[in-house]
Structures are given as C-alpha cells and as structure tokens.
C-alpha cells in the first residue's frame, strides 16, 4: 500500500523535474518548483505514517509556509518590481 503511494509520488516528482528541465520560460520553471514544493508535503505525510513520528508533520507545516513565502518572493522578482510594494 505504502509502496504504491511512494511510486505515484516519485513519478509525480519526475514529471515536475521534466518540466523544470524543459520549460521554455522562467515562469514555467517557477510553477514546477511550486508544485514540487507541495509534493514534499505529501512525502512528509507518507514518512510520518510509515514511522508514526509526529515531527515529520511539523516539517510539513513549516515546509508549506516557507514554500509559499519563497514563491511570493520569486513572483515579485519575475514581475520586475521591488520587494516593498
């Protein structure tokens, strides 16, 4: 059961990596980075169920929030404006 879920998630990550390697513009790569960041939350859930430890879910919360802040900064940079408005 767990093996099937891990196989699905790993193939998702490889599809995202394909888009990062292939993407014609920088924005495509940013989108794929965003999706890959949410994938990591899914891996955290799987590892947490496998081991029964709770700090992997803490890692998942922190990762989701940091991914959000990082994507916002990246999109401000792509938009070509400063970080202050």
Partner 1 sequence: MNEYIGFAFIIIGALFDLFGCIGLVRLPDLYNRLQAATKCVTLGTCGMLFGAFIIFGFTVSGMKAFLCAVFVLVTSPTSAHALARASYVSGVKLWQGSVVDKLKEDIEKH
Which residue's CB is nearer to partner 1, number 4 or number 85?
4
Which residues of the shown chain bind partner 1 in the complex (CB under 8 A)? Answer: 1, 4-5, 8-9, 11-12, 15-16, 18-19, 25-28, 30-32, 34-35, 38-39, 41-42, 45-46, 48-49, 54, 57-58, 60-61, 64-65, 67-68, 71-72, 74-76, 78-80
Between 54 and 84, CB nearer to partner 1: 54
- Residues 60/63/68/70 CA torsion (nearest 10 deg): -170
Other CB atoms within 10 A of residue 32 CB: 19
Separation of alpha carbons 24 and 85, rounded Å:
28
């Amino acid at each position: 059961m767990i093996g099937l879920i891990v196989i699905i998630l790993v193939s998702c990550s490889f599809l995202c990596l394909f888009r990062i390697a292939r993407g014609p513009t920088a924005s495509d790569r940013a989108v794929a980075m965003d999706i890959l960041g949410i994938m990591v939350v899914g891996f955290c859930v799987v590892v947490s169920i496998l081991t029964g430890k709770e700090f992997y879910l803490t890692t998942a919360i922190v990762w989701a929030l940091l991914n959000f802040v990082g994507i916002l900064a990246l999109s401000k940079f792509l938009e070509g404006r400063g970080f202050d408005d």
